[in-house]
Every structure is written in structure tokens, then in C-alpha cells.
Structure 1
Amino acid sequence: MSNLQNCWPEPIVRVQELSESGINSIPERYIKPPSDRAGLQNSPGNDTFGAVNIPVIDLLGMAGKAEEEAVGRACREWGFFQVVNHGVSPEVMRAAREGWREFFHLPMELKQPYANSPCTYEGYGSRLGVEKGAVLDWSDYFFLHYLPTSLRDPAKWPSIPPHFRELIAEYSQQVVELSGRLMKVLSRNLGLPEDRLQNAFGGDNIGACLRVNFYPKCPQPDLTLGLSSHSDPGGLTLLLPDENVPGLQVRRGNSWVTVDPVPDAFIVNIGDQMEVLSNGIYRSIEHRVIVNSGKERVSLAFFYNPKSDIPIEPVKELVTEDRPALYPSMTFDEYRLYIRTKGPRGKSQVESLKSPR
């Protein structure tokens, strides 16, 4: 990752400040091409909202084969699912989400010292990608490394509100434990030993990071997106959504499904690295975030990733004469440099790697 830029190509503008300034129209740099816009017909509150939802899986109510089959089916058919009764403390989940909401509402002079750069993205940010003149998303964020510990920068962990650093660490540890449990289920469903996928990730030497998304109110939500369409470059993503303000949309064929969050659930999705390891059996799916004219939205995306410098390729047990390896070997560091440079671009990266059949 050493060839990333040290500075952003243009002065950073905080979207929250734009929103709170009272503007009636958004700056041109946030206006998406017509083909990329969500459109008012897809906004939360539409009559069709909630009519279709991604699978919801009760990890306490299912066990063994039933759990494996439900998770495996969701990964094959949707690439997304929600989990309830997952073992992460609901009190910790709520406290983490509201703590981050409180952080984003601090005065700018208290937030700005945490400003990030393209080198690591760690800290307080307002854009992805380093292409000058790129159309930007209507969001601010905060990115933190959790694992490996050698990547953590204590100076970037907010000390406000009080005891927030300890809360972030407790939340992250519990989500890492849940991720490890899901990895075993995913592995068994593929007919592999339960530790096979985890070992392919690097065993105990995995990567884990947190991106907290803040989507301010937007005066023209039909012209922009909070986060452009993309598939996640890593392994697994566990999203703690804003229960009161839907915004995540998942591609389903040629349509977009607005996810209806279940209280105290995590929204789990397959990342590109898991698609590669499973040789395309599990699918990373495009998703995006729409914004709202009347309400802000906060969500916590936790990324459970392979060790950054080990080759990731289809698991040998899943490569056969009838299903040859779909993807070449590549380290996660090499892979994620694309999105770190260009920002979210649908599924263009992982699709471009597919071997011709």
C-alpha cells in the first residue's frame, strides 16, 4: 500500500457542514449521473418498502445443519442476510451506535484533529478514492483499524465521548468473535472442515477494521447517493444499521431492494475475498446507500478480512474439472489498492479478474 497518496487531490469538504448550512441544492460534485441515481421512487417511505427483505437468520433458533443450510442459501442466492440472537450484546451495539452519533455532532474543532489521509484512511474522512474531480458521495465517515494491533493508531481513536475508546474495543472484540463463528458455518456449508476458510484468511492473523458512516440530511436525495454502488473488497462485512432510518439497498437482478433493518440485528454480506475463496459459490453483491431529506443516518460497518499479505485464491477443494478456478491468486493488499485509488465502482474489479471460460 506504499504507493498511495499522502494527501487528498482537492480540499476536503465535510458533508455534514454542507447539510447544516441550510443549502437548498447540493453542489455539482455530489450529483450522480442519471443512470446511477436512486430516484425518488426508491426512497424509504415508498409503499413498496419492506415488501421484500433479505433473509433473516436466528442463530439461537437454528443449530447444526439447519443453520448451515440457511446461511449457505442466503450466501448463494442473496450474498446478504440478517442475523439475530447472534451473541453480541444489544446494549453494547446501541451504545456504540449512539456514541458515534454523538461524536459526529461534536464541534468541528474537536473532530478535525482526527482527519484522515489516503495512506491508511484511518480517522475522520469525507471521500473515498483519490481521483481528482470525481463525483463524491453524500456522507462523512470514520475509519479505524482493529486488527492486526500493529496497524492501530491510538491517536486516531476518539477520546470523546468519555470511555469511548473502551466501548469501541469491546464492540469490536464481540463482532470479531461473531465473525469467527460465521466463518465456521460458511466453511461447513461448502463441505469443508470448519477451520478451512479461517485458515485461508490467515488463521488468527486476520485483518479487521471499522468504518462508521454518517449520512447527513440531503436537500436533493434523488440526485445523489450516500455511498455509490459497490461490492465490498474484503471477506465478510457485519453492518450495524440505523434501525430508524433505512438506507441500504441491495441489488437483486435488475432491481434494488431497500433493506428493512430488524432490531438488534447485524446485516451480514459476502465480500469479494470470500467470493474468490469459494470459487464463486458465495457471491459478493452490489449494494449502495440512499440518503434522506428529513433524517440523518448512522451505521457501523465492520470488515473481517484476510491477512493483507497472503495470497487469496479459490480453495483447492472447490476447484474441479467442471468448475475450474475462476480467479487468479492475489493478496488483499494488492486487491484493495483498486478501491483505495478509484473509490466504489460496482463489481467491476472482481468481475475483471474472472478467468475466461
Structure 2
Amino acid sequence: MINYPSDWPEPVVRVQSLSETGDTVIPDRYIKPPLERPSPSFNSTGSSDNLNIPLIDLHLSGPVNRDHPTIQKTTMDEISLACREWGFFQVVNHGIRPELVDGVREIWREFFHQPMEMKQDYANAPTTYEGYGSRLGMQKGAILDWSDYFFLHYLPSNLKDHNKWPSQPPFLRDMVEEYSKEIVRLGNILLKVFSINLGLEEDYLQKAFGDGDIGACLRVNFYPKCPQPDLTLGLSSHSDPGGMTFLLPDENVTGLQVRKGGEWITVKPARHAIVVNIGDQIQILTNAIYKSVEHRVIVNPDKERVSLAYFFNPKCDVRIAPASELVTLTTPALYQSMTYDEYRHFIRTKGLQGKSQVESLKISK
């Protein structure tokens, strides 16, 4: 078990509080190096404005398809292509009620507008990240992101504690519980689809994740208005360290950008869509047939933004390595094995740093 410090290396400042002061200049510690800043060209009519991640209809709406899911062959092919070429796609008709999709996002927006003293009751620490937070990583003097968040555990069940979830607004805990069950259902469906598409046994990835004993945790992101959005980021460039991520975006404010072919593509979410992206653990398990992709979040000078990132992860003590069925003489194993707990220690200590962690696992030729 890895031990983490019980407190942050310096006082935590809530970004929402900075935004609400009305200052027109952001503090220096949020100003990114010039090469990491978003370019004004992303708001132009260039090629990046015309591209979007694949949109896939799962055809799982309705009680018959939802309770007895069968993914059509053409849909599985679309998923396979998206995983190989993008590492990102968004799904509609995923079987989650539209009212729940809208409701869970908006009830979290309400949480971030609760009195600060109430939110501070849930202030988190580096030991678990669980609770109300404003920074990732524990390096003193680090350049920070323009965002606050709330992090909670859902699986394994011994980590779930409703008392650590916000009690206000009313019904937030019930809504999060229902939404969590739906995301886990969707995650298990996609693990099966991925396994079949890769030519593996249909339960291969589920077993590799811990044979049903998976990890599932939610980070709700709050990106306040920013007076200098060209100097900072809501979330620095990174690939997700876990298995895969299900993002419920803010449909009214774009912000997520995906790196594709050397440029940043701004994701334009479809109505009631869930964005799915491959994480580092699936990149390792598939021997880089499916790749996790760098992404980041830009901020807005006029509008706040709320999104829900659900992380679907392997059990923390299961060793992750390329599937032997995908390793051949011409495609040797690219990565050494490591437990997910050991792997995420990198981000828990250093914060978000592109794809440097997964690249560090590569076996030298």
C-alpha cells in the first residue's frame, strides 16, 4: 500500500472564489508556459473547428434492448474503428434515461453554488482525493489548473461511503447512486465489445480488470469563468491513467479538446451523449492496438462549465500487462507489467503530465 501525505503542500485556494472576485488578471500560479496555452486559432473556422470525435448510436434505448443488450455488428465495427483511430467517441441511445443525464449534471451544478462553508465540510486531502478539491498532484509551487472538483468512490463497495457524498442539494446522493449503476452497466457492455473486437474471449478484459471486482469513481469538474482563458487551462493535457472514462459533458459550453494528428480538436457533444475514452490501462492490455489519447480542457471568460468524469478502472492490486494473445514475434510486448495502484501513484504525486507515465513503461528494445 502506498502512503500519501495527509495534507497538501501549501494552502488550497478555491478557483471559484478567485473567479467571483471579478479580478481581470489571474494569479501567476495558474499561468501556463507559452507552449501549453490554448491558441486563439482554436476559435477560428479552421480544420479543427470542422472535426469532431465519432458519434455512435448504441441502439440500447427501450426496456428490451437495455435489459438484454445486443450490440449490432455494424455498431461494433464503428466502436473498433473509433478505438483504433481516435481513442475517443461519444455514444447516444446508451440506455441511460435522458432525465437522469440532465438531472445529475444540474444537481452537481447546484452543489458548486452552495455556500462555501458547506462545501468546505467535504474538503479533501491527498490520501484519497475523496471530497471537495482544487488541485491534482502534490508538488509544491506547481502551476495549477483553473478548476475545482468533487471526487467520490463507488466501487469497490468497501470504499463507498454515502456520508462522504454531499448531503445538499436534496436527492444528490440518490441521483448519483442511480447514475453510477448505469455507468457500470455501460462499462461492462463496452468491455465485452472491446474484447470481441480484439479477437479475445468476450470476458477477457473484464477478468483482466479483476473479474467483476473493478474500481469505479467519479470526479465532478467545475470550471468557473476565467478572465484570461488564453493563459491557462481548466485541465492540463493528459491521458487518463485508468481503464476507460465516461464523460458527461456540459452541452451548453464546449471545453474538452482531444489531440488528433498534431492538433487540438474541440469536442462538440451531441444531445444526451456520453463521451467514452480509452485509458492507459487498456492501451497496455491491448499492446497499444487501442491507444489512450491526450486531452485537455479550455475555459471560458463568460460561462462556467460542469462535467462528470466517471473512471472505470482495474482492481488496484491486479497486475496489468499486454494480453498474451496480442503478443507475437512481429508485435512483441511493448510494456512491462504494473499494478494500477502503482501506476496511478505517478499522477497522484506529480499531477497531469501528458503521456509521460505510460511511455515510461515501454520495454526498451
User: Which residue is equivalent to 2:214?
Assistant: 206
* Structure 2 Cα separation of the partners of residues 159 and 337 of structure 1: 30
User: Which residue is equivalent to 1:58?
Assistant: 57
The CA deviation at 1:3 is: 2.0
Q: 1:189 aligned to 2:188?
A: no
Normalised by the length of structure 2, the TM-score is 0.95
Q: 1:20 aligned to 2:28?
A: no
* Structure 2 Cα separation of the partners of residues 118 and 233 of structure 1: 17
CA RMSD, Structure 1 to Structure 2 (Å) = 1.2
Q: Percent identity?
A: 64
Q: 1:126 aligned to 2:134?
A: yes
Q: 1:347 aligned to 2:346?
A: no
Q: 1:87 aligned to 2:95?
A: yes
User: Which residue is equivalent to 1:308?
Assistant: 316
Q: 1:246 aligned to 2:254?
A: yes
* Structure 2 Cα separation of the partners of residues 278 and 89 of structure 1: 32
| Secondary structure, counterpart of 1:222 in structure 2 | coil
Q: What is the one-letter code of the residue matched to 1:47?
A: T
Contact 2:42 2:49 in 1 (8 A): no
User: Which residue is equivalent to 1:167?
Assistant: 175
The CA deviation at 1:47 is: 3.0
| Secondary structure, counterpart of 1:221 in structure 2 | coil
| Secondary structure, counterpart of 2:124 in structure 1 | coil
The CA deviation at 1:82 is: 0.5
Q: What is the one-letter code of the residue matched to 2:25?
A: S
Residues 175-200 of structure 1 deviation map (CA, whole Å, 9 limit, x = unaligned): 11011101111110001111111110
* Structure 1 Cα separation of the partners of residues 97 and 338 of structure 2: 36
Q: What is the one-letter code of the residue matched to 2:105?
A: R
User: Which residue is equivalent to 2:4?
Assistant: 4
User: Which residue is equivalent to 1:108?
Assistant: 116
Contact 1:39 1:223 in 2 (8 A): no
Between Structure 1 and Structure 2, how many residues are aligned?
Answer: 355
Residues 158-182 of structure 1 deviation map (CA, whole Å, 9 limit, x = unaligned): 1101111111000000011011101
Question: Structure 1, unaligned stretches of length 5 or more?
Answer: none
The CA deviation at 1:65 is: 2.1
User: Equivalent residues in 2 for 1:129-144 (5 A)?
Assistant: 129-144=137-152
Contact 1:114 1:124 in 2 (8 A): yes
User: Which residue is equivalent to 2:75?
Assistant: 67
Contact 2:162 2:173 in 1 (8 A): no
Q: 1:42 aligned to 2:42?
A: yes
* Structure 1 Cα separation of the partners of residues 320 and 18 of structure 2: 41
Normalised by the length of structure 1, the TM-score is 0.97
User: Which residue is equivalent to 1:31?
Assistant: 31
User: Which residue is equivalent to 2:275?
Assistant: 267
| Secondary structure, counterpart of 1:223 in structure 2 | coil
More deviation, 1-10/244-253: 1-10
The CA deviation at 1:50 is: 4.4
